[in-house]
Amino acid sequence: MVGRVLENLFVERGIFFDGEIVLGIGAELPLFWSNEPIPFAASRFFDPHSFSRCRCGSGDSASAAEGPEGKKIGSIPHGFNRTENHDLLVQAYEPLLKVSAEAGFKQVICFSGNREGMSEEQGLENCALGLKRLLPMAEKLGVTLVMELLNSKVNHPDYMCDHSAWGVALCEKLGTPQFKLLYDIYHMQIMEGDVIATIKKHHAHFAHYHTGGVPGRAEIDETQELNYSAIIRAIQSTGYTGCVGQEFIPKRADKMGSLKQAVKICTVA
């Protein structure tokens, strides 16, 4: 059941639910989101024997390398749309792909980077050039690189991969199942709306989904504008059997209660 699969909940930055707690509220499969090198961080939360039951995304710093002027190359603002980043990105991602595959993790997140005056077309070209350097290894290891769609209106000003159409164009340009998109429902509602229609039209290019209440990125219940039960049904109707990440920041004091509520909302027949 799609809705019963959980990622970390951003209760507070840097605090994660461990697999035992998540499983205790009815989730079938915990996910792990690493802001640290995967083997060390993951060992805190999951028995190594459970790795094959997990999925992974690299956080904003997991694949980052120190670049000129202290820039974190591989972080959200400094991604694949700059050719000068590509050598450092390859150096950072190759070991990440290997250790992800060894741990049984099948997806690794990446970012486009910010525009900084660059055209959409040039950004597509540059991202494709950089990602092509990693695709042979990703294909060999059976790992998919997944670029996250983020809003540039509220949370990530100037981010390039901020519309599903641009991300889909990149998928089509690369033409491989080892590169797809993370469709973040919260972010795309802010940028373009039309969530269910977009999912139905472009689901073949979406490898993973994130939740979050709009506005405010809080609970996904009736206090916000999206009908998450309907969205989950739409996702299921595409044949998707993968993961849905609960990536909201709860406002209520009972944060575990908010997570339990999200599981219930997203668990649909």
Residue 238 has pLDDT above 70, yes or no: yes
The model's pLDDT over 47-73, given as tens digits with 9 standing for 90+, comes to 333 433 344 444 444 456 777 777 889
Q: In this structure, are residues 155 and 110 in contact, taking their beta carbons and an 8 Å threshold?
A: no
175 phi/psi in degrees, rounded to 5:
60, 40
Confidence of residue 241 (pLDDT cuts 50, 70, 90): confident
pLDDT confidence of residue 64: 65
- In order, the DSSP letters of 208-228 are EEE---TTTS--SSTTSS--H
Higher pLDDT, 33 or 202: 202
pTM (two decimals): 0.84
Most confident of 73-77, 167-171, 246-250, 265-269: 167-171
Calpha distance 142→137 (Å, rounded): 8
- Rounded CA-CA distance 117/111 in Å is 17
What are the structural domains, with CATH classification, of the chain?
A: 59-210 (3.20.20.150)
Please say whether the dihedral angle defined by the alpha carbons of residues 22, 195, 35 and 256, taken in this order, is positive or negative.
negative
- The answer to whether 142 and 243 are in contact (CB under 8 A) is no
Query: Can you tell me the mean pLDDT for 163-171?
Result: 98
Q: What is the mean pLDDT of residues 152-181?
A: 98
Strands 107-110 and 72-73: unpaired
Task: Indicate if the pLDDT at residue 219 is higher than 90.
Answer: yes
Whether residue 22 has pLDDT greater than 70 = no
Residue 171 has pLDDT above 70, yes or no: yes
If one compares 76 and 57, the residue with the highest pLDDT of the two is 76
Cα(243)–Cα(79) distance, integer angstroms = 24
